[in-house]
């Protein structure tokens, strides 16, 4: 049975930290579906379509990666896709509490689905989509933080 993992997130926008987790996840799983979510309470800078476009560009040439939009309950989506694993990245301790809560909630909803965490590389430990947006809005250079085309999109958004 091929092992498929669902990698859910906002990816607003995709960063090199996200991509690092994806690449390392591909060494463990046969296929990874990046599920671009919409939180009713979370306002995003980029639309779902824009976020998917950037992810498609950033993963061009990578095998066994799919990108989809999802809404609703994650666990239902995971089952619909025939996957058994939810993949998430972990940075500092600050991620842990939220991720633990999220993983335990999903386990309560369906005990057969596991959440697997991949620890970030030290160099991406500080990196988040939010900090990238803040820095971009002030005209900072984003070398090594996001793919070049994402940096370009951010500049266009903020007109900097």
CB 123, min distance to ligand ADP, A: 9
Which residue's CB is nearer to ligand ADP, number 15 or number 106? 15
Which residue's CB is nearer to ligand ADP, number 1 or number 41? 41
CA distances from 33 to 9, 29, 78, 91, 159 (A): 11, 10, 10, 21, 32
Which residue's CB is nearer to ligand ADP, number 77 or number 124? 124
CB 14, min distance to ligand ADP, A: 8
Which residue's CB is nearer to ligand ADP, number 129 or number 154? 129
Say which residue the tokens 């301790």 belong to: 93
CB 61, min distance to ligand ADP, A: 21
Supply 18's token pair: 């996200």
Using CA atoms, how far apart are residues 65 and 82, in angstroms rounded to an integer? Answer: 15
Binding site for ligand ADP (CB under 6 A): 9-11, 15, 17-18, 21, 88-89, 91, 95, 120, 124, 127-129
Beta pairing, strands 65-70 & 4-9 = unpaired
Beta pairing, strands 65-70 & 31-37 = parallel
């Amino acid at each position: 049975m091929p092992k498929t993992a669902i990698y859910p997130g906002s990816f607003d926008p995709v960063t090199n930290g996200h991509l690092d987790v994806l690449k390392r996840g591909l060494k463990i799983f046969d296929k990874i579906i990046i599920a671009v979510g919409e939180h009713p309470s979370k306002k995003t800078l980029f639309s779902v379509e824009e976020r998917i476009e950037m992810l498609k560009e950033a993963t061009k040439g990578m095998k066994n990666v799919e990108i989809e939009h999802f809404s609703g309950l994650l666990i239902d989506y995971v089952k619909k896709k025939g996957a058994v694993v939810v993949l998430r990245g972990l940075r500092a301790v600050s991620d842990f509490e939220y991720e633990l809560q999220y993983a335990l909630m999903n386990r309560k909803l369906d005990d057969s689905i596991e959440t697997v965490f991949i620890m970030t590389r030290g160099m991406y430990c500080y990196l988040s989509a939010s900090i990238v947006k803040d820095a971009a809005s002030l005209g900072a250079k984003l070398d090594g933080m996001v793919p070049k085309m994402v940096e370009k999109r951010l500049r266009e958004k903020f007109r900097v």
